[in-house]
Every structure is written in C-alpha cells, then in structure tokens.
Amino acid sequence: MPKIVVVGSFVVGITFGVSRMPAVGETLIGDSFDLGPGGKGTNQAIGAARLDAQVNLLACVGDDIFADMALGIYKKEGLLLDHIHRMSNINTGVGVVTLMPDGKNWIIGDFGANFLMTPAHVDAAEALIAQSDIVMSQFEVPPETVVRAMELGRKHGAMTIWNPAPAKAVIPDLLANVDLLTPNETEVRILLGLAPDDPTPTLDLAQRLFALGVERIVVTKGKDGAQIVTSDGSEEIPAVEITPVDPTGAGDCFNAALAVALGQGKSLTEAVREGTYAGAYSATHLGVIDGLPTRRELDEFISKT
C-alpha cells in the first residue's frame, strides 16, 4: 500500500446548464444544475485512495457549509484528516460553471481558503512526509507552498510529483526539487513563459525544464496519449480508445493512478500506461468524483479494453 501525501486544494463546483449566455442585466433560467466536490488536490487524493493507497491530504477549507461538505467526503473516502485546516473568516474554494449544450463553458472561480495555505502548514506535516513514498501537488495553492512540499519530499527521499495546473509561468526555484513533472501540452509551454500554442517542439522544451532541475517529464496529450521524456530519450504511450462522455477530471485521475503505480514500484512506462487507462475510465463517466475508479473497477476496465 503506497503512502502518498497530497498537498492540494478543495473547490466546490457549481454548474448551471444553459441554452445560451444571458445578456447584461438579464436573469436566465437554466435547464440543469449540479453541485459537487472537486479541486485538483481533492480529486487526486480520492483517486489514489480508491486505488488502495494510504493517502494524507493537506488542504485548507473555509468556515462555511462547503467546508462541511469537504470533511464529509474525505471521511467517506477514507482519507486521513490530520492536516485538513479549517480557516476562519474566509470562504471555501468555489467555482461557478456555465455550461452550454455544445460543451463550451465559462468559469468564475474564487479559491478562497486554498490560497491561505502556507509553507508552515507543510512544515507541520514534515513527519508525515518523512514516512511517505510520494509527495504530490498541483498549482491551486500558493507557489511557495508547492516549493516547500517538493523540498521536504526530496529531503526525506519521497518521490516528488508536480502537476502544474492550472498553469502559469514559474520561478526556476519551484522546479529544482521535482522528480516528475506532469503537464499537458499547453501547460508545458506556459510554464516556460511561452504562448500556449508556441510551436517549439516538446522535446526542446523538456531540455529547458531539465536544466531547471526537473528529473523526468510526462506530457499528457488527451486523445493522443502521453509522452515520457527523460535524459535517455522519449517514449510515446498511446491513448485508450473510448467514446468520451465527460473528460473533466481525466487528468486528475491519470495523475492519481500514475502516483499509485509508481508507489507500488512499477516502472514509469508501466505507470503511465495505467494512468492512461484510468484517465480513459474517468472520461467515460459523468462527473469527476463519480469517474474515479476503484482498484477493481480499473482492473476490470483494463482487462476489457
């Protein structure tokens, strides 16, 4: 059972389905509604726990009813809660999504308590990190907090995995202690301060990231699978052929399965393959949490696909 510490976020997703966008000043009645837990840290932590890892999540929530939702689902999913911090006088992270029939959406988010997570919160979990196999984080908490998580993971010999989403250009120090970086094709460019569609080949970009301290890179490519880049070369892992229903959260599911497989001692190639199957499984289900497979569900999906 791999021991994984996730330093990440909790965000409530509030989604309205609408036939069109409203005009300024108009009240538009939607045709569907959904409210559910999310945030990359939460998604990845639950995903790893369902695949039989022992997961500790370090997260900050507010002092509202959404914090109660977070604690409830963490308990239900078997996450260890010693480092869930309930912050006063601030809201829990929330995102409001307006979803059109063609799949296009508009999102307004307030990360609230997530942005109050500090390196001191990570320091308080150092003993836990020292006992872990893997420390993983995303970019929905402050950069200095991610830096500290990667530093302590490296210090104590845990594998450090950073999923740099949502992407922004970063200072070089953030990458110095990252064993495995898992961006998508857009994020790998934004990290280096380039345009999202910059034509520079991914292999060239990887060399720049290696120079900043990153050990290995896995670039997720959606329907085109994933690309592993190391100092020894590059390897393409094909995608799993599916009919997608809802791709939201597939990247988080991929990262969760990748981390668990690596924690089990599998090679990077084997782990990325398992991650692609997990991401595909997620994309065939409606909703992020509902699309995170258990160990049995993922093994059955792999055997049948």
- pLDDT tens for residues 295-305? 999 999 999 98
Q: Tell which residue, 162, 179, 173, 163, has the closest CA to residue 230.
A: 179
Quote the tokens at residue 222.
């959606």
Instruction: Tell me how crowded residue 201 is: count the other CB atoms within 10 A of its CB.
Output: 9
Q: Which phi and psi angles does 252 have, rounded to 5°?
A: -65, -40
* Nearest one of 278, 298, 277 to 288, comparing CA atoms: 278
* 173 annotated active-site: no
What is the pLDDT, as a whole number, of residue 99? Answer: 79
Both tokens of residue 255?
A: 């990262």
Average pLDDT over residues 225-235: 93
User: What's the pLDDT at 17?
Assistant: 85
Nearest to 96 by CA among 38, 19, 164, 163: 38
Of all residues in the chain, what percent carry a pLDDT higher than 70? Answer: 100
Find the catalytic residue in 246, 252, 290, 299. Answer: 252
pLDDT band at residue 103 under the 50/70/90 scheme: low
- What is the band of 268 on the pLDDT scale with cuts at 50, 70, 90? very high
Q: What is the pLDDT of residue 111?
A: 93
- Helix (H) or strand (E) holding 236, with range, is strand 233-237
- Amino acid identity of 242? I
Q: What is the mean pLDDT of residues 251-262?
A: 97
Helix spans in the chain (H) = 40-50, 65-77, 119-124, 126-130, 143-155, 185-191, 202-211, 250-263, 268-283, 295-304
Return d(Cα 245, Cα 241) in angstroms, integer: 13
**With contact defined as beta carbons under 8 Å apart, do 50 and 293 qualify?**
yes
Per-residue pLDDT reduced to its tens digit, 6-39: 999 999 988 888 899 888 998 989 888 888 888 9
Please tell me what DSSP assigns to residue 21: P
CB 17, CB 44: distance < 8 Å: no
Residue showing tokens 């370090």: 58
> Tens digit of pLDDT for each residue in 152-189?
999 999 999 999 998 888 877 889 999 999 999 999 99
Question: In this structure, what DSSP letter does residue 65 have?
Answer: H
Q: Are 217 and 191 in contact (CB under 8 A)?
A: no
- What mean pLDDT comes out for the span 262-268? 97
Mean of per-residue pLDDT scores for the chain: 93
Determine which helix (DSSP H) or strand (DSSP E) holds 96, and give its type and residue range: strand 93-99
Tens digits of per-residue pLDDT, 282-295?
988 877 888 999 99
Class in CATH terms, 3-17+32-304: alpha beta
Mean pLDDT on 97-103: 78
For 44, other C-beta atoms within 10 Å of its C-beta total 32
Kind of pairing between the strands at 54-61 and 84-86: parallel
- The two structure tokens encoding residue 32: 């569907």
